[in-house]
Amino acid sequence: MKESRYLRGKSIRPGAITGETSVADLVDNAFLAYNAARLREACQLFTRKMLDPDVTVGVSMTGALTPAGLGMSCLIPLMERGFIDWIVSTGANLYHDSHFGIGLEMHEGSPFLDDRALRQEGVVRIYDILFDYEVLLSTDAFYRAIIQTDEFQKEMSSAEFHYKAGRYIQEREKTLGLGRVSLMAAAYDAGVPVYTSSPGDSSIGMNIARSVLEGNRLRIDITKDVNETAAIVLNAKRKGKSAVLILGGGSPKNFVLQTEPHIQEVLGIRDMGHDYYLQITDARPDTGGLSGATPGESVTWGKVDPERLPDAVVCYADTTIALPLLTAYALAIHAPRPPSRLYDRREELYRGLEIAFAESSRKGEVDVRVRTH
């Protein structure tokens, strides 16, 4: 038989899975087709390229991941090993993360309950996660208390807000002897800047809004968020490579990706897009929704470097299944990386963006004069 060039892939002959099979062996040797194969490709892309020393890794997260415990089980271990450099999250994930850090509980439940009965008993449901309504009131009270302090009486980026809040949450963790349970506290410790793309779209934002009615001077500066995240990516591209790990989709997905159009299209700074793109999503690409938008589509916007498109993987799977496997694989395969502590370098990186913008603006003025004379 004449061998086709299409038949040069590894033969599908997996060994039997046993009680001794490790997660790494399972992924590498048993995830051979369909979205299992995409998850294998995701794990290998993450560990073999995205975690190289010169790569800056940004993570976006949507969906109720922290209520399901993924902050504790996955994201904190990844941060502590230097595998996450910066984060864009929904405000809801950060708000629910706070429950754990201040000693409040969430419980396993069922999605098949009478929600009218739950409401009567003061129980709140996130699909099959249950918690007391007082958890919300206590967390609201915590945020209202800390934002009354002097350090919050100013305009700041969402990263600065979350960093300051993370310090208070860490103090509560220590006082209560909880161990490391809060993503925000862990980010504070590791110097990982945490942004939210929609500061008003969460209970944290609602409590800030209430405080404004009471005369509080705290304001979240979204323009600073846009420029700070672009500064992180510009520095990453000038010193090495930029990678994005997208958990779900929505606004945080666009926010982490729009850094490149902001650099290229709006600021006029020459660049080619993110180098590595890894998304875990259950959204279809054919409905026009952002969550299903493919890496190829992102190339047309300048979000992804077209020369790096082979280094892009989309795994159509539930994040609550795929992320623990990706985390276990990465921790088993890759040595820890030194923390980049990008939060501590925000002013330096911001200044670098300002300089690059000024240079591109001067060049643009020269180009205009040349074309009009």
Best CA proximity match to 222, nearest among 303, 157, 135: 157
Q: Which residues of the chain have pLDDT under 50?
A: 366, 368-373
For the segment 223-266, what is each residue's pLDDT rounded down to a tens digit? 999 999 999 999 999 999 999 999 999 999 999 999 999 999 99
> pLDDT value at position 373?
39
Q: At what angle do helices 34-45 and 23-30 cross, to 10 degrees?
A: 120
Q: Could you tell me the two tokens for 358? A: 């000024």
CA–CA separation, 190 and 326 (whole Å) = 21
Structural domains present in the chain: 35-372 (3.40.910.10)
Q: Could you tell me the two tokens for 212? A: 């404004």
State the sign of the Cα–Cα–Cα–Cα dihedral 263, 261, 65, 198: positive
CA–CA separation, 171 and 168 (whole Å) = 5
CA–CA separation, 278 and 244 (whole Å) = 6
Best CA proximity match to 129, nearest among 102, 103, 101, 100: 100
Of all helices (H) and strands (E), which one includes residue 159? helix 158-176
303 is catalytic: yes
For the segment 339-360, what is each residue's pLDDT rounded down to a tens digit? 999 999 999 999 999 999 999 9
CA–CA separation, 317 and 314 (whole Å) = 9
CA–CA separation, 46 and 288 (whole Å) = 27
CA–CA separation, 251 and 21 (whole Å) = 38
CA–CA separation, 36 and 28 (whole Å) = 10
Beta bridge partners of 107: 130
Distances (CA, A) of 1 to 4, 7, 10, 12, 13: 9, 12, 18, 19, 20
CA–CA separation, 133 and 11 (whole Å) = 54
